[in-house]
């Protein structure tokens, strides 16, 4: 059986990366992640990402490029990440999160990322440094 895909967005605005602090479930609450979620049946990863960011943050976004790589989550799930451009709206923690931060290039270590998001954030940082 193939793994289920969880998509997450590296949302950039004026050179800063958006980090979101999870409010649930209890074992993840307080840790920071790239916002996103699971694909629904029939959705492409890009469609799922646009939907999740609309639901969770109240913004319209456009996936730009896939960040090379794939990272294991809990058994049966893998994380794939896209860089994302903010088209409209100011992100607000509407669902799943209780705080947001915009991180400049030298601030990426300032938040306590979920373990599984750390390699993804490192890959994103490598990409944006090119
Ligand atoms: O909103 P939905 O239920 O589709 O998904 P979610 O609960 O936000 O994420 C699904 C799973 O992926 C959860 O176990 C999250 O902890 C995990 N996840 C993650 O580890 N890192 C992310 N950047 C996004 C989700």
pLDDT score for 30: 98
The Cα-based distances of 48 to 51, 53, 63 in angstroms read 5, 9, 10
How many Å separate Cα 87 from the centre of its chain?
Answer: 16
- Please report the atom of ligand 1 found closest to the CA of residue 120: 23
Pocket residues for ligand 1 (CB within 6 Å)? 6, 8, 28, 33-34, 36-38, 73-74, 77, 79, 96, 114, 116-117
Q: Using DSSP bridges, classify how beta strands 4-13 and 77-88 pair: parallel, antiparallel or unpaired.
A: parallel
Question: 61 C-alpha to center of ligand 1: Å?
Answer: 18
The answer to whether 63 and 46 have CB atoms below 8 angstroms apart is yes
Six-digit token pair at 102? 């915009």
User: What pTM did the predictor assign?
Assistant: 0.94
- Encode the chain (130 residues) as per-residue pLDDT tens digits: 789 999 999 999 999 999 999 999 999 999 999 999 999 999 999 999 999 999 999 999 999 999 999 999 999 999 999 999 999 999 999 999 999 999 999 999 999 999 999 999 999 998 866 5
* The pLDDT of residue 129: 61
Please report which helix (H) or strand (E) contains residue 62, including its range.
strand 60-72
Look at residue 127 in the predicted model and tell me its pLDDT: 84
64: tokens are 């730009």
Distance 14 CA to ligand 1 centre (A): 26
User: Cα(85)–Cα(9) distance, rounded to whole angstroms?
Assistant: 9
Q: Which of 4, 32, 36, 57 to mutate to test the pocket of ligand 1 (most atoms within 8 A of CB)?
A: 36
Give the pLDDT score at 130.
58
């Amino acid at each position: 059986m193939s793994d289920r895909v969880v998509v997450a967005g590296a949302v950039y605005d004026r050179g800063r990366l958006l980090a979101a602090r999870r409010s649930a479930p209890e074992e993840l609450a307080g840790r920071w992640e790239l916002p996103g979620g699971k694909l629904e049946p029939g959705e492409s990863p890009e469609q799922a990402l646009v939907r999740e960011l609309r639901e969770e943050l109240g913004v319209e976004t456009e996936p730009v490029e896939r960040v090379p790589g794939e990272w294991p989550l809990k058994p049966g799930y893998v994380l794939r990440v896209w860089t994302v451009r903010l088209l409209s709206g100011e992100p607000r923690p509407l669902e799943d999160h209780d705080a947001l931060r915009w991180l400049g290039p030298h601030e990426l270590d300032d938040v306590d990322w979920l373990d599984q998001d750390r390699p993804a954030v490192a890959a994103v940082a490598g990409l944006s440094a090119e």
